[in-house]
Amino acid sequence: MTKQTLSFQAEVAQLLHLVTHSLYSNKEIFLRELISNASDACDKLRFEAINNSGLYENDPELKVKVTFDKDAKTLTITDNGIGMSAQEAIDHLGTIAKSGTKDFVSKLSGDQKADSQLIGQFGVGFYSGFIVADKITVESRRAGMKETEGVRWVSGGAGDFEVEAITRPARGTSVILHLREDAMDYASAWKVKGIINKYSDHISLPIQMEKEEWKDGELINPSDENGGRQPGGMVKTGEWETVNKASAIWTRPKKDIAQEQYDDFYKQISHDFEAPLAHTHNRVEGSTEYTQLLYIPGKAPMDLWNREKKGGLKLYVKRVFIMDDAEALLPTYLRFVKGVVDSADLPLNVSRELLQESRDVKAIRDGCTKRVLSMLEDLANHDKLPEAAAPSADGATGATTAGVTDVLSAEDKAEAEKNAGKYTKFYSEFGAVLKEGLGEDFANKERLCKLLRFASTSSDSASVGFADYKARMKEGQEAIYYITADTLAAAKNSPQLEVFKKKGIEVLLMTDRVDEWALNFVQDFDGTPLQSVAKGAVDLGTLQDEAEKKAAEEAAETFKPLLAKLKEALKDKAEDVRVTTRLVDSPACLVVKDDGMSTQLARMLKQAGQAAPEVKPVLEVNAEHPLVKKLDGSVHFNDLAHILFDQALLAEGGMPADPAAYVKRVNALLV
């Protein structure tokens, strides 16, 4: 192949511009990314060599080498992994073929202080080398190809790159960074070792650097021993040393691993700069043997809702890397969990198809799911600071609301303060995803229900669980009441809540888009039925006194002729019209039958481009409202009836089928 110049894909060119001009908040991430890529290349070779041992080419010891040359102003990362052919170099280094890249680039051009935290999340870590380099040279040869079939790729990070054929005896890849003047501190052993120890210590391959030793300066003038000596310095010895621990963290005993090491490993595999909220590290023995190291992140990745994004855990078999995103090891609703599973039972040549069918994988999946739910339950149980115990007047211990006091031991207090608020943070990031499990994981539905949190008419924050709600239900209350809406404001101000507010009955406010769908799979909690306040007729049982029931019955009888006229006027819009028992201040509201699809869910399905049945709601009118009373005998009856319906639709977040007609009717009445 002769030397040729090619242009970058448009998105790569845009990304490179941002990298070279914006990412200065944490320069050192470039080395973490390049070493991670080198490690991945070695893992890929190990995997392909399972079926073709000749790929090792008499060099079975996989490793990564890092060298620098101050005179040449270069820093080089070399691996003896799978390597690249010429076409692979063009495809992999000139094009970003990952899903979600446009979203990545748009995020990258936003908050510049957070930009560097995003590098690596979309497989674009290689380009971070341009943070410190004004030119990058890549020399590579794919394992199994001839020495003369090597390739050199060169780019200055502008709009194009050069590719040419070279002779390369060694398989693998060398990434040569030509350092900028302001990045020359990366051409020093102490700086590079520090970064490797910080970010790459847990990579299971040896990362090697040349040893250095101090050498005194030579005498220029032997007769002047003090003043005629050249300055001394560090000199490379030609020997190589491993500068990382080079052992997989999950294979080491828990007692030998510090929390900081667990956190560093999480940051390495997740490309996250924040520590995780929690982790679990276990060796499971029995019919299926495996080791799991699982993490719950503190922040949702920006591609959490990207359907094309592959999620899952890193899968190893007997410490041999198999695949990056083993989706079969956790249910989809736990796709935010990061970590590693190392199995002793799966075959080395396992594929994604085999994972779906394997009995061992099902056991691993169930075990990992239970571990994650246990972690979440532990976070939820310790989310709030415990109430301190204080002595009462008779010397007994009574609860106070003063918070944690010296009654707790120093260790217990520190532990309580460390965990307080963690579940609230988790739920704000991942609560909507967790709800998907209600329809996906029936075996753990009860555990998931206990983990759910909602806002309510008593609390604007999503802090009320079903158990909390049940504990403060009014005497005689027979159901857990809830309402779904697009926003918290719409839920709080819904007309359907009026009678509940009047009676002091708490209602859960559900505002996630997934709520409507998820609640189809939950009929009750701990024996208490769930009831939407927007479905069916309101029956408050003993909470509604006899006088109120009698007044409602009399109003329904008195209003029969008017209801019949309304039903006829709105026959194309409403399935039925009836006197309400739920409104206090509003003239009307819309509800659906107990077993009917809610109007909100129907709207959501249509917005998503899915087929949805035509929902005809029931119009409930407040017989005591002046506007409803004005209907009887009005010459504008038909217009008022339609306005009443459309206003009820607007109040619940809907939109009139004919907005122009609605405006015309309102204007006519105003005039």
pLDDT digits (tens, 9 = 90+) for 292-336: 999 999 998 877 777 666 778 888 887 767 777 888 899 999 999
Label residue 490 by pLDDT band (50, 70, 90).
confident
In the chain, list all ranges with CATH 3.40.50.11260: 453-670
Burial call 584-621: b when 16+ CB within 10 Å, e when fewer: bebbbbbbbeeebbbbbbbbbbeeeeeeeeebbbbbbb
- Please return the burial class of 338, using the count of CB atoms within 10 Å of its CB with bins 0-12, 13-18 and 19+: buried
* β-pairing verdict for 160-166 and 150-155: antiparallel
Q: In sequence order, what are the beta bridge partners of 136?
A: 155, 177
Q: Which of 462, 545, 457, 459 is nearest to 501 (CA)?
A: 457
Q: Tens digits of per-residue pLDDT, 330-366?
A: 999 999 999 999 998 888 667 767 777 788 889 999 9
Pairwise CA distance, residues 533 & 498, whole Å: 10
Give the whole-angstrom CA distance, residue 375 versus residue 397. Answer: 31
Mean pLDDT of all residues in 640-664: 88
State the average pLDDT over residues 54-83. 94
In this prediction, what percent of the chain has a pLDDT beyond 90?
34
What does the pLDDT look like over 459-472, one tens digit per residue?
888 889 999 999 99
In the CATH hierarchy, which fold is given to the domain comprising 249-375? Ribosomal Protein S5; domain 2 (3.30.230)
List pLDDT tens digits, range 70-107. 999 999 999 999 999 999 888 888 765 343 444 545 55
CB atoms within 10 A of CB 345: 16
Q: pLDDT category, 387, cuts 50, 70, 90?
A: low
pLDDT of residue 415: 67
Contact 496, 582 (CB under 8 A): yes
**Residue 276 above 80 pLDDT?**
yes
Residue 350 sits at φ, ψ, to 5 deg, of -65, 140
Please say if the pLDDT value at position 24 is more than 60: no
SS3 per residue for 113-164: HHHHHCCCCCCCHHHHHHHCEEEEEEEEECCCCCHHHEEEEEECCCCEEEEE
Residue spans of beta strands (DSSP E) within 329-411 = 338-343, 389-391, 397-399
- Residue 481 is encoded by which pair of tokens? 């009441």
Q: For the domain with range 453-670, which CATH number is right: 3.40.50.11260, 3.90.10.10, 3.40.50.720, 1.10.645.10?
A: 3.40.50.11260
Using the predicted structure, report yes or no on whether residue 592 has a pLDDT greater than 80. yes
Mapped onto helix, strand or coil, the DSSP state of residue 644 is: helix
From-to residues of CATH 3.30.565.10 in the chain:
4-216+229-242
Residue 66 gets the label, from left (phi > 0), alpha (psi -120 to 50) or beta, of: beta
Q: Give CA–CA dist 538/621, Å, rounded.
A: 13
Q: What is the pLDDT of residue 116?
A: 40
Identity of the amino acid at 515: D
CATH number of 4-216+229-242: 3.30.565.10
pLDDT tier for residue 119 given thresholds of 50, 70 and 90: very low
Residue found under tokens 């990045």: 183
Looking at residue 611, what is its pLDDT? 65
Write out the E strands in 159-304. 160-166, 172-179, 207-215, 233-242, 278-284, 290-296
Q: Where in the chain is the domain with CATH 3.30.230.80?
A: 249-375
Contact between residue 3 and residue 164 where contact means Cβ atoms under 8 Å apart: yes
pLDDT of residue 609: 63
Tell me if the pTM is above 0.85: no
Contact 257, 249 (CB under 8 A): yes
Burial status of residue 312 (CB atoms within 10 A of its CB: 0-12, 13-18, 19 or more): buried
The per-residue pLDDT for 667 is 92
Q: Contact at 8 Å (CB) between 381 and 424?
A: no
Average of per-residue pLDDT values in the chain: 82
Is residue 406 over pLDDT 60? no
| Assigned token pair, 557 | 């009888």
pLDDT at 545: 67
Q: In this predicted structure, what is the pLDDT of residue 22?
A: 57
Collect all residues with Cβ–Cβ distance below 8 Å to 401 and sequence separation of at least 6: 387
